[in-house]
Amino acid sequence: LDHPAGLLLLLHKPVGLVCSHDEREGPNVYSLLPARWRARNPQVTSIGRLDKDTSGLLLLTDQSELVHRLTSPKHKVPKVYRATLSADAQPAWIPLFASGTLVLKDEKEPCAPAELKIISPREAELTLTEGRYHQVRRMFASQGVEVRTLHRARFGALELGSLAPGQWRELSLDTFSQTP
């Protein structure tokens, strides 16, 4: 039997692939997996999503409880993103993003506190514990800045290491045996 207890994969998602099973949305991350895993029941799905223009660490599993546990904001699993910006990052954004008071356009609830580090004038690292729709891009847009490139560098304690874009490696289901 092929992984009777379930699958957990760490994938280096390249730009250009979507995290959807709907073929109408374009080429997807599941096309990188062996056919036998794409046919699993329950279906292999992503733990959270990265948009088509975002690269980086993506977890895939067929364990729905794990998906819920790692995406629920109450567990505060940190996700680290590296962004290249269209303009210089401003030190004033650090306390703003950390305050838990930033309300994104068309939303009523403020974002959870986020940690911003300015790496260089146009590069920043943002650590989030929630995963709203296009959140990183929208947080910077609220300050009048466009995100030119976006890469998820870390999910919880996991990093990509030397894994090349489009490549994946298996993880033990025990990787997240404790609620993060």
Active site residues: 51
Neighbours of 5 (CB within 10 A): 11
End-to-end Cα spacing for the chain: 30
**CA 109/CA 176 separation, integer angstroms:** 29
For the chain, the farthest-separated pair of C-alpha atoms sits apart, in whole angstroms, at 55
Strand partners, 46: 60
